[in-house]
Structures are given as C-alpha cells and as structure tokens.
Structure 1
C-alpha cells in the first residue's frame, strides 16, 4: 500500500511539475513571431530591390548625453534613433513592443493584460495589417529601419531581454503600437473600462438606458481574473487619461525680438509616454530637434530650421456608444431591420502571476459600428475618432519636414492625427493654434452625448469633419497664443478669441478651464512686452486663482462645523488663510498641496468633488504622522526623487497639481514624502530672431539615460530642472561637434 501511495504521489508531483513548466514556457512559443525586419524582405520591392538593406548612422552625444543622430538617408537616421533609444531605455522599449504584439500581460501581469485586451478589442494588429502597406514607401522605410535597429540591439544584448521571442519585429509591429495607443490620449480607456465592468459611463453620457445611470463616481477597469481592477488602462497616464500641458507662442512684435515657442508638456516622468529628447539630421533634408515616446522613429514635437510646434491634450467628444439589439443566441444583432452576424473571436491573454504565465481566454466582439463590449446590461458598440486609421504615421513624418505654415497646415488638414491641440511658431513671425481632432462627422439633431440606438445605421458616421470646421487661430492681433488644456474659446485674449457659438455643437468641444489656463490668460493679457523674462515668470508661475474647484474647496472648508474638533479647526483655518501660491514659502503650502490634487482630479475627470472634511483630516494626519507639524516647508514634502545607483537624487520641488509650474501627481514614499511622477517633464524653448538661425533650450526632470542608473546621464539634468534652468540644444552640426562627448557610427547587422 505504501508503495502505491509513493507511486501516486510521485506521479502527481510529476504532473504538477509538468504543468508548472508548461505555464512557465508556453507563452513565447504560442506568440506569433514577426518577420525579421533588418533583412528588408517585407517591402523590398518598394524600398529598392531584393537585397538586404544596410543602414548606417552616426550617433553623437552632447554633454548631457542627448543623442544627435545623422545619416545619409532618413531611414539611416531612423535606424540610429532606435539604437540610441535602446541604449538609454531598452527596458521601456520592450514594454512598448510587447504592447504592440498583445504580450504585455506576460511582463506586467494583470495590468498588462488590460492593455492586451484593448489591443485585441481595438484590432490594433488588424488595423496595421490593413493599412501599413498603403503608407508611402519612404514612411514605411522609416519604420522598417527603426524596427531593424531594435532587432539589432536585442540580438547583441540578450542579457537585457525581458521576454523570450519578443524580437525580431518589423515596421508593421511598430505601426500596431501606434494604432493601440493613440485613442487613449482622448480618454477612450475610461469608456472601455466602465463598459467592461458595467459601471456608469462618464457624466456626458445621459441616462438614456434604464439601469445605465449618469456617473458620479470614479472609473473601474477590466480584470481578466474577475477581481476588481484599477482604472483602465494605466500605462498611458493617471486614471487612463493624460492630464496636463502648457504651450505658448509669441510673435516678434509682442516679444520685442524673436518668434517664441514654449513647449511645456506634462507627462509621466518614466514609462511608455515619457519624453525622450533627440536631434535628427539627414542628407535628405530631415533636420529636427525635439522629443518622442518610446517606439517612434521620429519626434512628435519640437522644431526644425523653419518652424516648430508643441501639443497639449484636448478633450472633445471623440467616442460614441451604441446599444445593440442582440438575439437570444448572442450571435446576431439587428441593423435597419435585418439580423447581421455579430463577429466573435476568442483570444488568449497571457497573465504573468509569479513565475508562471496563465493563459486567459476572452471573447472579442465586433459589429459594423466598431468594437463591441458585452456586460450585464447588454451589448454596447463603440466608435471613435481615428478608428481604423494609421496615416498619422505619415502625417507626423511630413510635419517634421514642413518648411512653412502652409505646408504645416496641409498635414493637419489631412485629419490624420486623431487628437491634441497644436501651438505653432515659425521664422517668418507667424504663430498659430489649431484645435486638432479627428472629430466624427455626425448628423445634426441627435443626442450624441447619450447612448445611441444601435439598430439605426444612419448613426454610424464615416470619417471626421473637415479641417475647416475646427477652431483655429492664425496670427491673432494680441500677438500671443496659449493652451493649458482649456476650452479653445480662451486662447489669444479679449478681441482675438474665438466664439463658441460659431462652431457646431455636434463637435462636442469641451467647455472647461484649468487653473493653469486662468492664470496664463490673466498674466498674458496683463503683460505689455512678452520678452524672455516676462515669459519665464508666466511659465514658472505657482499661483492659484480663487475660482472653479479651488473656490469650491475653500467654500466647503468654510462651511464645516468644527467647534467640537479644535485641532481640525486649526488645520482648516491654516488653509483659509493660505496665500494661494504653491511657491513653497507659505505656511499652508504643504497642506494645500495635499488637499488640492484630488479636487483638481475630480474636476478634470468629471467626477463629484471629494468630501472636504475627509480630505482635510487625511492631510492633517499625514503631515502630523511624518513631519510632526501641519506646516512643514513644502520642499520637505514634495520631492524630485530618482533611485537607485550612484547618481540618485532627492531634491525639493515647488508647484502644485494645476499650476503653470506643474507638480501634478506623485507616489507617497514610506517616509511620507511625495515623489513626483507626473508634471512638468520635457520643456523646450525655441526662438527665431529675424534673419538669424533658430536657437533653442530644453530640460528634462532627470536625464537622457532614462533607465540606466549607472550612467552619469541618469539624473544630470535634475538640479537644473529644480532651479528652473534650461540647457542649450545643439541643433546645428558645428555646435554638436564642438560640444560632443562621444561619437560613433552604427551599422545594421545582416
């Protein structure tokens, strides 16, 4: 009997071992391996023949490690961009590639599986497969070269790989990443998360459907294991949306000298949408200084010789939700009185849990409207601006090479870039603001902010409105333009601003202000000459206007009856006496910093305002617990921290969650300090003096070597950043060579 028990136990142990080994190894073999890119086979006929393509680029790094990449052709440069970016941040690049292939869950577990679900739901791969071959050959050449650079780096650095068989990749893989990520810039993640979990939609969606009420609470997200999840999905910013940026442009007449463009983006300081600074130059005329995100062969903002632009996130109504009528079998839906087949596809999501990767099966639905989500209230289809398009890949490339305002506007007029405001300046003294968005071309009269009747095909729009329909301003009389994630009706000052009544309500343009907008509008309007000193004061302003959610917070605090709690009353009084300035000098600055963030976030994301007493109590407890006082200097609370390694930094910061000097969100460290994770990030200041060449300055919170803690460029910009100083951008080749600390040539492997 004992022998049988031993044999049974051994057999069970062997089966368990086999199962564990299977769960630890299945995913790389299950995943589709993309065709190798550096061979040039995929598009050889278009790109110059059947022989393998060789790329050669020169990478020069300046004193801050910023790469300046030169090549004979634009494709050579794109290859060098991939190599340089991998040298500095291959850690994040692998995450981006995994997202673009539906494998992020094998790296990041449940959070990664949320992204993989979106990858399949939005058909990112299918979108790339349908449209990549239609892109111009020179654009595809960039993406093939960039993929080749990633493949070469992966092949020569196997010890850095996170996931087996993730490489090689090709240009189509990189394109799929664009198709996946772009819709999340205008908040699609919140809608997907709420539909998947059956939670209420955002407040703009009315109570059209019984049991689907208007929302006041926060969003919830998809969880492949069936447990409650966090906001969906996380890798693109706080609560699934990006929450800030400032941009300014000034004419020579108003500045007293140059055309000025100030880019002040507020992005996460690390991760898939953290800015990476670079300068590119080819013998084919591509010459641009700026920044991109991991996974892109070209900059998204910055300047060339002639012109420049920057972006801020806008929030038009870009997504429509339809309730479908589905038959009892769940396989057909009704459209115009006919029953059509509901497309269904089962996908496998890899979900890493400890040492194993679980295969989680999910069914993906699709109708003529677009992706379909099934929950306990029914079947809901979504359709969004830019759906089934990737021509933004070509538009950004052409913007990089635009030579004047006319050429630049021609690219925006394609409506290929789905969203974000553009602020522009050029050497000719022009400035411009375009409320750019591929807003759906909707019929008049329908409640497009409600849940739509999915049985009526007339509500399925096709493509965006025309460029002429968008709000835009060219060379306003005021001489200045700005945007701080505000409505487009305040952009250039009294007498120059656009009027909301002149634009169709079906555009769904937001009608909101931020504190940054209120402050910028006031300061710009009051200024006489907007020279460099005046613009620096405005850009680094740390004050709050007593309006909007700030006024609501103070009013709520004033109404509290705290006669029975004298300690909490003293805390409240400290805020009521606050000077509305997050400059780190006032006694109430630290307390205000802790209080305002959640009120700002609630307003931005259309949530109900938090309970003032509850937040006051929590803020007081935090300060007393960690600092033993209610009024520590704000710089002791708010920190710019980067660890580990010999170049770790821990520096004091100023600015608040919604000030022009932005410290938007943070992680709470064990010592009670707030480590900035999202706020002022890449700042670039470009100037064109009449008759002179463009010059620019820039700064990052940490450094060029984003995930290389043993590099001297890991944090070498931090002290300048904290002191509100900028470093020079070496745009012109003679300046690059004069300030080079390293120089090498890289050539692709055959």
Structure 2
C-alpha cells in the first residue's frame, strides 16, 4: 500500500513540477539510440532528459544522487561511506541551503522538472531502485550533487586525501587532459568556422559523457555532452554557437594551517582571538554484509577558512570557490540558450562555474577563449601556492576576481585558438598570446606546456595557410608526440641512448628508437615505451640514468615475452577498448592529442580507462544550421542488454564520426522510435 501511495504521489508532484502532462514530451531515438527530446517548455524538456537518461543509465544517476544524499554507504559499503563523509565535511547541504535563494525562478523550474523526471522513472521502475528511501530526489539533491562533483573536479578529493594521510597538499593536480580547438572562417578553405569539442574523461562512471539533444518552444535547441545528474548540456552546440571545455590550472584551492590552542584542540587562534571550531557528528550507515547496515558517527569540523581536517601535524582548513556558488548548472543553461558572442559572454560574466577553460566558435566566425574560474582576491603578501597561515584574517579572501580580470582572447588575427590543459599564455600564435605578467600573480596560473600543446604548436606551423575540413580532422586525430617530450618522467634520453650491455634491453630499445612516435594501434614502439615508463614510475625513478633505462627495458622485454611470446608487439595487441565481451585495438597513449590512459585488463593486456571519449566536430556556416559529427566511445546506453551498449565502438577505434543534426523535424522524420515518458 505504501508503494502504491508513493507511486501516485510521485506522479502527482511530477505533473505539478512541469506544469503540464508528460504526454506533451517527445523522446525521439535516432539510429544510434541518442535521445532527441522535444517539449513545449524547458521544464518539460528537463523532465524528458531525466527520463531518457534514466532509461540508459539509471544506475549511475542513482549513485550520483545517493552521494548527494549521503546514502552511498548504505548501498556500496565502506567506500560509499567515505564519500558520504566528504559530503558532510564539505557541508554541501549547508552550502545549498544558504545559496538556493539566489537561483532564478526560471532555472528552478528546470531543476524541478529534472528531479520530477527522475522520480517518475523510479516510481515506474521500482525494481531498479537501489534504496527505496532515497526517493523522491529533491531540487536540493540535484544542486548538492553538483557542489560535490565540481569540488572533486577542482581537486577537493586530492586535498582531503592528502590531509587525512598527513601529507603536505600539492598546489595543483594534473588531470588526464582535454583538447579544444576553434578556427575562424578566415582561416578555412570552405569559409566555415570550425570547433573541436574533445574532452578527455573517464570512459565509464559518474564523470563519463552522455550525449543528448534538447529542444523546446522556449528557444532551447542544444546538442552535446552532459554527466549523470545534469539537467543541461555542459559542452556542445546550439544553432548559433558552440563551446568546449578543458580543465585549467590556476590556484583553485587554498589550504590553511590553523594555530590550535595548546590545551584545547577545538580552539584556533585568529589574530588575537581564540575561536571554537564548529563541530558536528556525521551519521553514516554502512552496508556490511547481506544487506545489514551499521550506523557509525564521525566528527567533522569547520572554521572561518573552510572545512577542517585534523591529522598528526595539526589542523588544516581548505577553501574552494564552489563553497560560495551553487549556480554553475544555471550558467550552463544560459550558455545553452545564448545566440551570439555578446550573450555568451554575458552568460559567463557572473562566473558561476568555478573553473574550466572555454573555447568558443559561432556562425558569425567569432572565436573566443577564456581561462574561466572563481579566483579570490588574495593578499599578495602571502605565498598562495603554499600552505597558508590560518591564524590571521589577512589570508581570508575578500570576494572574487570579475570576469574582465581573467585571461581571455577574442578573434586573434591568427584565426585560431586552442587549449590542451596548458597555460592560458599559449592559446594562439606567439605574437598574439597573452602574457603572464599582465595578470594578478596570486591567481596562480602555471606557465606550463604539455606534449599536446607543444604538438599543437608544431601542427599550426605545418598548417600555416588555409585549413580544410580534412586538415582539421587530421589535427584533432593527430597521434604524434612532439619532438621534445615533457612527461613527468624525463624519457627523452631513451631515444638517444646508445647500445646497453644487455641483449634483452637492446632488443626493446631498437623497437622504441625505430618507432616514429605516432601512437596508433598498428604501431610497434608505443606499447614498449608505456611498459618501460610504468616500470620507472613504479620504482619512483623520475630522472633515470642509463642504468635505470637498461633495467626498465629488460623488465619490458621479460613482460612482453611472458605475455605475448615476442617483443615486437603492436599497441593494439597490448591496449584494448573493452566493453562486455568486445575488445578492440585502441589508439593513443598519455598526452598525445588522441590521448588514452589505461589500466590492467587480462593476459598482460591493458584496457582504456580515460582519455578520448565523447568527440564533437562542428562546422558553422554563415547561414543555416551547423554541420555536426560526433562519436561516443561505447554508445548511448550503459545497459548491457541494449543494442546501443557498444554500437559506437567500431566508429570510435576507426576514427570515424556519425552525422547529427539540430533540425528536430529531420530527427522526427528519421527517428527509429518516438514515445512519451510515462
């Protein structure tokens, strides 16, 4: 009886949230199973997105929401309880409660519609629900999920881990990388502006891309990628313009060492005053065995500087911009609906999204780049890259830099812009690049290149005239390492190493030195270099000498002989794209433009874990809709029984794309299925 009551109440409130019947919402699935969602209102579209995404991946959406509700421990056990504690430590609920009133009524309807869609799906599919008392999902849960998600993307998980394990927090964390490239029509042979949306993300899980097309009568027509629990397109294109994100590396996290009272470890000194740490007990329920759940309590602390972790060295607080701002997804919504560069910059101007580079192109041939971020005004008296004194209000931030202060370029004469997670001071031709000294040094932007940005500079010298669409695709799918490598371990000497005293090492060395540094599946050399590199890293040898290289090469020889019976192994025989029973040869190594990062698979092989995933290539004519091609690494569904669970894998490994369109009538004419959420 309780289940029946929940079912009807859920549907009643779902209809209230979207204002009209779900029968007005159309979900159109194309040949590849990608959902194209049309409805009269934006709120109804959000409802339809939630329903369609739940059809394809209700499990991951639930995990995202269970994390926001601090209920993961009840489902996953100890590992989930750790996330539940982090959500409590970072005070995600308090942050949302304090800032929810800032969300516009217009966007609140979107989130209400999205939450209603999830709840309606749960009500209709009770056997798929992990925890019955996790529903209904609320508007606050959606916002809490993105406070957590964005905090993790900005490095909160690394900071918390380092603090708990009594390590000095690092000033920055190096991500797996992404690419974004824009070319103005003045530089193209066909007179179209080009945009490559090429984020490198985990291939599966809560930060893996889902492709969708959202259309309403209220001016929403956007296609692109989003994450589970996301009610809007995070990067992609509409009829007028598009944008791509990459992770950036200003100083996004501040860590403070508190001065603790010698007789009371809950008191900390600020200037001449002793303040008391806010203390709360986080109640955690942990699944142990056979569904049994144990309740435990763990204390969490907060200070005027932010959440506090106590360890053997003392007490440390940390602060991120996302602690002051919950409207990132509302800013993405405004970006979805912008119709020109001025409106797009207006959507960015309040800086709700706490980080990420943005590379932009539009039908008017504007191109634009900004290294976006919520970066606080900081007292230049202190070294903000290091751990800061948490005993003075001088280290408290006093608001955030306005949008105009951020590194940005619009329409350079070179006709191109890019970012490969490198510093914002190399985004176009060197003659027009921004200069580090023109920006507040306390922003903490690092002056760093990587192999992808160096290779991009080489490519733009090669393509120094007009660029064709074929050229643009060749640039995006380039798998060549640059002439000089900038990996964490200096492996440049291996390409100059003379013959060693080891026959086994020499055999592998010859294979690596004969390789042209192109990381394609059919090549011999990249697998050998990867295995040797992994050995050096496992031994913490970051500046190897000739003897270290010899040992790494010998280890590589033995590994290849044990698992493959030979040393001249192709990359595609060693590295696979794997889903279910399907395993295909996979291009890419870390930090080539077509990057791939792998993990152990079986029989000495590895499988792709993160890197190239959702790819979108766009041409913008002066009039008419953009011409769009995309591919998602596996397919549109994460359900093993779906035909779209793995149907894009062959496209992906063969560097092919599928045509997509923003013309909803064309979608309707060719759709494989059209239906309404129940």
Shorter-chain TM-score tier? over 0.9
- Aligned equivalents of 1:392, 1:590: Cα separation in 2: 40
Aligned residue number for residue 257 of structure 2: 323
The root-mean-square deviation of aligned C-alpha atoms, in Å, is 2.5
1:576 aligns with 2:513: yes
SS in 2 for 1:177: helix
Aligned residue number for residue 704 of structure 1: 636
SS in 2 for 1:549: coil
Check whether the contact 2:618–2:627 (CA below 8 A) recurs between aligned residues: yes
Q: CA deviation at 1:619?
A: 3.2
Aligned residue number for residue 648 of structure 2: 717
- Aligned equivalents of 1:601, 1:660: Cα separation in 2: 25
Check whether the contact 2:504–2:554 (CA below 8 A) recurs between aligned residues: no
Aligned residue number for residue 534 of structure 1: 471
1:463-495, Cα deviation, whole Å (9 max, x unpaired): 321111111010011101111111111111121
Q: 1:134 to 1:494 in 2, by over 3 A?
A: closer
Q: 1:180 to 1:602 in 2, by over 3 A?
A: farther
Aligned residue number for residue 345 of structure 1: 280
SS in 2 for 1:513: coil
Picking from 103, 125, 128, the partner of 1:160 is 128
Number of residue pairs the alignment of both structures matches: 663
1:552 aligns with 2:490: yes
Picking from 429, 433, 457, the partner of 2:393 is 457
- Aligned equivalents of 1:699, 1:519: Cα separation in 2: 23
Query: What does residue range 209-228 of structure 1 map to in structure 2 within 5 Å?
Result: none
1:63 aligns with 2:56: no
Check whether the contact 1:600–1:658 (CA below 8 A) recurs between aligned residues: no
Query: What does residue range 584-663 of structure 1 map to in structure 2 within 5 Å?
Result: 584-596=521-533, 608=542, 612=549, 615-643=552-580, 648-663=581-596
1:299 aligns with 2:230: no
Q: CA deviation at 1:596?
A: 4.6
1:530-552, Cα deviation, whole Å (9 max, x unpaired): 21111111111111123243592
Q: CA deviation at 1:499?
A: 1.3
Q: CA deviation at 1:392?
A: 1.3
Consecutive unaligned residues of structure 2, counting only runs of 5 or more, are 1-5
Picking from 423, 433, 451, the partner of 1:487 is 423
Check whether the contact 1:37–1:171 (CA below 8 A) recurs between aligned residues: no
Q: CA deviation at 1:340?
A: 1.4
Query: What does residue range 468-507 of structure 1 map to in structure 2 within 5 Å?
Result: 468-507=404-443
- Aligned equivalents of 2:175, 2:83: Cα separation in 1: 16
Picking from 106, 122, 145, the partner of 2:113 is 145
Picking from 314, 331, 335, the partner of 1:395 is 331
Q: CA deviation at 1:614?
A: 5.6
1:286 aligns with 2:220: yes
Aligned residue number for residue 5 of structure 1: none
1:354 aligns with 2:314: no
1:738 aligns with 2:672: no
Query: What is the TM-score when the length of structure 1 is the normalising length?
Result: 0.84
Q: CA deviation at 1:364?
A: 0.4
SS in 1 for 2:428: coil
Aligned residue number for residue 335 of structure 1: 270
Q: CA deviation at 1:592?
A: 1.8
- Aligned equivalents of 1:614, 1:295: Cα separation in 2: 47
- Aligned equivalents of 1:625, 1:164: Cα separation in 2: 49
1:591-623, Cα deviation, whole Å (9 max, x unpaired): 1233456889999xxx95686556444433332
Picking from 693, 700, 714, the partner of 2:625 is 693
Q: CA deviation at 1:641?
A: 1.1
Check whether the contact 2:147–2:322 (CA below 8 A) recurs between aligned residues: no
Query: What does residue range 172-211 of structure 1 map to in structure 2 within 5 Å?
Result: 172-202=140-170
Check whether the contact 1:336–1:455 (CA below 8 A) recurs between aligned residues: yes
1:376 aligns with 2:308: no
Query: What does residue range 4-153 of structure 1 map to in structure 2 within 5 Å?
Result: 39-40=12-13, 54-55=21-22, 56-153=24-121
- Aligned equivalents of 1:530, 1:450: Cα separation in 2: 44
1:667 aligns with 2:599: yes
Check whether the contact 1:38–1:144 (CA below 8 A) recurs between aligned residues: no
